[in-house]
Each structure stands twice: as structure tokens, then as C-alpha cells.
Chain A
Amino acid sequence: MMQAFLASQFFFNWRRNLSAIIGSVIIAIFIVIVAFGPLMVAQDPYDLTQLNLLDSYKPPVWLPGGDPRYLLGTDGQGRDVLASIIYGTRVSALIGIAAMLCSCLIGTSLGLLAGFYGGRLDAIIMRIADLQLSFPSMLIALFLMSAVGTGVDKVLIALTAVGWVVYARTVRGSTLGEIEKEYVQAARVAGLTNAKIIRRHVLPNVLTPLIVIATVQVGTFILIEASLSFLGVGVPITQPSLGLLIKNGFDVLFSGLWWTSVFPGLMIMAMVFGINLFGDFLRDELNPRLK
């Protein structure tokens, strides 16, 4: 299996594409952080007993007054910025991935139904999608959040409501192409039910373009979630994401205490940058027209 991958054209092209390598390395680092982050830092920033108010607003270690225990300094409660960032990255990344999976599931299902059955069902689903696309996604998410309240689950709902459309449209388009092909007609002649045709024949053949969309969407979702949290309608203060960390530090940003918000910001940037680099590579690799 591994051998086959190393000999594949995918791997061959990956090795020759610097930005793909950089993107993959960044993503790999973030996967490690998300999986093992809490083991890497001494402090659990949300365990109040581990916080010491005397250590509040320590600058990063390389500035005068820095404390070697707090590499990137501390915030107003004496919380280690590095530890907060690592915990916050987990929240941001998991929300991004979970919301992507929900969007993908719902959008793909609706797209398959619309494309396969056509007619009124298609018209209804696609008009809702069009309507949705005529508003900025940030605005829709903001509106939903203010209607349903804050919380991780609410953020997921808002992001899914924003994100399903792109899957539905893509899948519907590919489905229309696939059902014209002779292998789908052959399945009809073989006597398969519509449900089986969709599951066995159409679905596996419309998934490839979704890989690219899903990858890039994780990045987009991380940004939207950060914006929502920054505006105070995202995750609760007990589970701060990177966006909320930026907001918390933002109040004191201009008093010279820049590290509390700048480092989480850099973290978001690095994560989304890595995802997009890798997404671009996938787009080129998986696009049959460029072959």
C-alpha cells in the first residue's frame, strides 16, 4: 500500500512541488498540535487552579521581563499564551473539520437528489441554494448566531448552513454529467433500483472534486468561526478558539501588550495558509482537464 503510494504519480508530482510540500508540512504540524497539544505544555489554561495572577501580562521570553516558563508571554489572568494558543487551535481546527463534514454530508445528499431526480425537487433545492448564495456567508452566519445563541454546536449549525451549498451545486453538476453516461444506463438495464444506482454508481464518481472543496473549506470555516468569535457571537469563553483569543487580547493590544492577540492571529494565518497551499496542489492534481 505504502509502496504503491510512493510509486504513484501523485507522490511523484508532490515531491516536485515546493508549495505542496510546505502546505503538507504545515498541515502535519497542526495535526500533531491538535492530537497531542495538551501533552506539550505544562499548563492547562482553563484550570483556574493552575493560574497565577502574579504572572499576568508577562511578555514573551525574549523581551525584557520575560519568564522562561511562558515562551510567548501571558495574558491578564496569568494564562500562558502558548498553552492558550494550542488549546485554541484544537477548538478552531475541530470546529472547521466538523463543520466541513456536516456541510459535505448534507450538501452531497441534496446535490445527488437534485441532480438524479431533477424536476421540482431539483428546482426547490437549487433555488434555496441560489438564495443563500446571494447573501455574504458571513452575514448569514452572523444572523443565525444572533438568532440561536452562542455555543460550539450553534457555530456548527451556522457554518453548515453556510457551507452545504457549494457541495450541493458541485455534486448536482457532476451527477447530471454522470447519469448521462452509459454505465448508469447499463445499471438501469441490469435492473438496479434508483437508490442502488445513486449509491453504487453515481456517488463514487462525483466525490473527487469534493476533496479539493472540502480541504479549502476547512480553512474558510476556521476564518469564519474566528470572525464570529471575534465579534462575540461564536464559541463560549470556556472553550476559546483562536478567534476569541484575538478578541480577548485585542482590548489591550494598543497598550503595548500585543502578544496576547498577535500570536493567535499568526497561528490562524499559518493554518489557513498551509491548508490553501495543499488545496491548490490537490486542485491541480485532481483536475482531469489539466492532465
Chain B
Amino acid sequence: MTMQSESRDPLLSVRDLRTWFHTFSGVVKAVNDVSFDLAQGEIMGLVGESGGGKSVVGFSILGLIDPPGRIEGGQILLDGEDLAKAPEDRLRKIRGREIAMIFQDPMTSLNPVHTIGRQMDEMLRLHTDMDEAARRRRCIEMLESVGISQAEDRLRAYPHQFSGGMRQRVVIAIAMLAHPRLIIADEPTTALDVTIQSQILKLMKRQVADHGASMILVTHDLAVVSEVVDKITVLYCGQVVERGDVRDVISAPSHPYTRGLIDSIPNPDHRQPRLSQIPGTVPDIRNLPKGCNFRDRCPRAQALCAQEEPKLAPTRQSLFAACHFPIGTGGDA
């Protein structure tokens, strides 16, 4: 691939992805026509509340959707190769090598009965052809680069001998070992305390930059996202409602849902007696209303919203929103 085409084509391009779960009580359209692009070296935040489908997008990219879930349609193009149609053994090669993952609970990705060293070594054995001494050097190097001291001794330790924050560092080290081009991090700091969280976020950002990789940060926490990512994609009920550069989304979103999410966060600089809240609850995803999924909770909803489903369209600056009446494009403030 030439330099030219690399700069033109995104590293990852998700097109009309649909991942549905066929459960006893109906079809859960967890991801429904989601599209986005991710360029080389970019960090994207995938934001939404529980039930928004953000984790399912991550799992779909990794090819880790188990029955009753299924990728029903769409494309997941990694460098032009469609992962949605790739066979399982090809996906297995890609996972870890090309795409690495970091989960909320580090214990799920670390094997409790093996030492850290063995798990790191296995990763390199699978995905590189380094000899044993080189692999060992690389493991020690990697542990040091994620801020774990006495790396040589720590290779012999088991996961339970680390604290939560340290475990997440180990997971990051393992994820980075094979120089992946894409990292999918699913709520990587949700289980951690704030002081540890800020350490881990800084570490992730630096590691991604050092390796020239791209990252998708899946999270419910807008504050976390705003400190780390370049652009944001907001999901609601399995669909993209807004996307754009992080500055535009945070400072002046055009979709009422994004606006509501941001305003729900208490602002220490302008304390108000009441928080602005999004009324109601997320609708049952097995039984979505006609038209816009958000209209029952939306302060701007009009008759049109009940009839026609809004399509994602550019609103202003870098923003795209799926809304008939986006904020800041008409005559309102």
C-alpha cells in the first residue's frame, strides 16, 4: 500500500453495521446501521448510556459476537479487509496482532493461573517470530514503559498479586506487545479510582501515540472522553445520533441528546440549584417507537419526529447529527 492511499483511506471504516440479538423476548437491535471512520493515529470516543450498544460495536469489530447475537449486515473494513465476513481463523490472527483489546475488568483478560510473564510471552510467540531471549527483553521493556518497576521480578507474579490499577497497566502492556494498529478499550477505567484513572488514561494516550496506533475508547463517561479523544461518536438505542470533533461536540453539540448528556453533568463552575435532566428512560430496544427514538424525551420534538426517522446529516462545523431540528442551525440559541 502506498503512502498516498494510506492517508486517504481510513484505517477502520464501519459501514451500516447491524448486530442483532435474537432473544426469547424479541429481536434486540443492539447495533442498528452504525457507520464511522477512524483514521491512522486517531482516538475516537464511543459514548452512550447503558443499552446504547456501544460495547456491542467493539465486540463486533473484534468478531466476538456469540449467539444469540449475529452481525446481520454491514461492513467492518480494516485496511479494506471486511472483518464482518472474515472466517474465524483469520479473525483469530487479527485479534491481538492487528487489533488489541482492553476491558473494564482486567481480570477477565488475564488468566489467573498463569504468571504475567507467561501470558506476555505467549502473546509474542503467537504473533511474532522473536526468539526466547528477545521476547523476554521485549516483555521487560514493555512492562517498564507502562510504569511497572522491577519488571524482571514482576514477570514471575500472578495477576492477583497486582492491584486493580497495576493489573490494568499489565493489560495495556500485553495489548501493546504486538504493535497493534487498532486498540479497542471498553470502559478501561470505570472500575478504577479517580487518581488511578487519570494515571491510566495518560498512559493509554501516550502508548497509543508512541505506537502510532488508533484507538476506540468505549465509555459512558463524557468527562473521560473529553480529556483523551480526538473525536466522538454518540450512540442512542443502537444508532449514531451525533458525531464530530471532540471540541465541537462538547462545547456546542447539535443533537438534543448529546446536549442533555452534557448538561446532566454537574458543573462545578456554575452551580445551579437543579441539574438539567433528560426526562424519562431509554425506550425498550425490542420495541422502539416509530420515527426518532429520542422524541419521547426530547424538548425539541415536533410532529415530524413521530413520523420520520431522522438521518445522520451534517449540521455545523465538524458535526453530523441525526435530528430533524438540530440545535444551533435554526433561529435559536
Contact = CB atoms under 8 A, between A and B. Distances in A.
Interface of A: 9, 12
A244 B323 CA distance: 79
A137 to B, nearest CB: 33
A12 B24 CA distance: 8
A9 B25 CA distance: 8
A144 B53 CA distance: 61
A9 B23 CA distance: 10
Interface in B7-63: 24-25
B124 to A, nearest CB: 33
Nearest to B25: A9
A250 B55 CA distance: 65
Q: Is the interface of B mostly helix, strand, loop or mixed?
A: loop
Nearest to A9: B24
Contacts of A9: 24-25
Q: Is the interface of A mostly helix, strand, loop or mixed?
A: helix
A35 to B, nearest CB: 34
A285 to B, nearest CB: 12
A9 B24 CA distance: 7
3 contacts: A9-B24, A9-B25, A12-B24
A9 to B, nearest CB: 5
Contacts of B25: 9
Contacts of A12: 24
A12 B23 CA distance: 12
Contacts of B24: 9, 12
A8 to B, nearest CB: 9
A12 B22 CA distance: 14
Nearest to A8: B24
B49 to A, nearest CB: 23
A12 B25 CA distance: 11
Ranked nearest first, the 3 interchain pairs of A and B with the lowest CB-CB distance are: A9-B24, A12-B24, A9-B25
A221 to B, nearest CB: 34
A18 B25 CA distance: 22
A9 B68 CA distance: 15
Interface in B182-223: none
Interface string B69-108: 0000000000000000000000000000000000000000
Interface in B100-133: none
Nearest to B23: A9
B100 to A, nearest CB: 28
B22 to A, nearest CB: 13
B175 to A, nearest CB: 28
A75 to B, nearest CB: 52
A16 to B, nearest CB: 11
A57 to B, nearest CB: 56
A13 to B, nearest CB: 8
Nearest to A12: B24
A166 B25 CA distance: 35
B77 to A, nearest CB: 34
A20 to B, nearest CB: 16
Interface string B142-184: 0000000000000000000000000000000000000000000
B68 to A, nearest CB: 12
